């Protein structure tokens, strides 16, 4: 079997998992109904946009399983988040910090903010204002 046949079988498993018809599933993931039909029949390969829409509409589907056929259809539950306060010991910060071993003080080069929708923003030292 080739990759397309395997993907179409996994797509059929997803339809069975949710108990949906191909047209109802197309509406759920916001693609044209013909797109579902063409992927299931093996006529077309799923596009990245198709995969992303499926993943967005069905976050419980294991993406690794969807793409590779390995693992289980549903994603394993993620472990409970660890509170930062448990991981970072509280320390006193001096009003006049001294560099260690007479070396140059550290300075921030880049800050990356990750959002829960999978996007991120990166800020480099040119974005930081000096006081």
Is residue 50, in this structure, part of any structural domain at all? Answer: yes
* Residue 34 counted as domain residue: yes
Report H helices in the chain.
3-18, 22-29, 33-41, 48-57, 63-68, 84-87
Residue 11 lies in a domain: yes
Q: Is residue 118 part of a domain?
A: no
d(CA 46, CA 56): 15
CATH number for the domain spanning 43: value is 1.10.260.40
Nearest Cα neighbor of 73 from 6, 11, 27, 2 is: 11
Least confident of 47-51, 61-65, 119-123, 127-131: 127-131
Provide the pLDDT for residue 112. Answer: 82
In terms of residue numbers, what domain contains 39? 3-68
Q: How confident is the model over 36-62, as pLDDT tens digits?
A: 999 999 899 999 999 999 999 999 999
Q: Tally the domains of the chain.
A: 1
Q: Does residue 102 carry a pLDDT above 80?
A: no
In a domain, 40, yes or no: yes
Q: Indicate yes or no: pTM above 0.75.
A: no
């Amino acid at each position: 079997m080739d990759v397309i046949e395997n993907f179409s079988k996994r797509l059929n498993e997803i339809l069975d998992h949710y108990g949906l018809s191909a047209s109802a599933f197309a509406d759920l993931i916001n693609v044209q109904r013909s797109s579902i039909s063409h992927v299931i029949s093996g006529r077309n390969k799923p596009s990245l946009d198709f995969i992303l829409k499926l993943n967005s509409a069905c976050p419980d589907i294991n993406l690794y399983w969807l793409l590779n056929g390995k693992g289980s259809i549903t994603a394993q539950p993620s472990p409970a988040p660890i509170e930062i306060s448990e991981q970072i010991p509280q320390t006193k910060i001096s009003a006049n910090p001294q560099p260690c071993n007479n070396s140059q003080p550290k300075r921030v080069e880049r800050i990356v903010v990750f959002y829960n929708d999978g996007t991120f923003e990166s800020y480099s030292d040119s974005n930081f204002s000096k006081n």
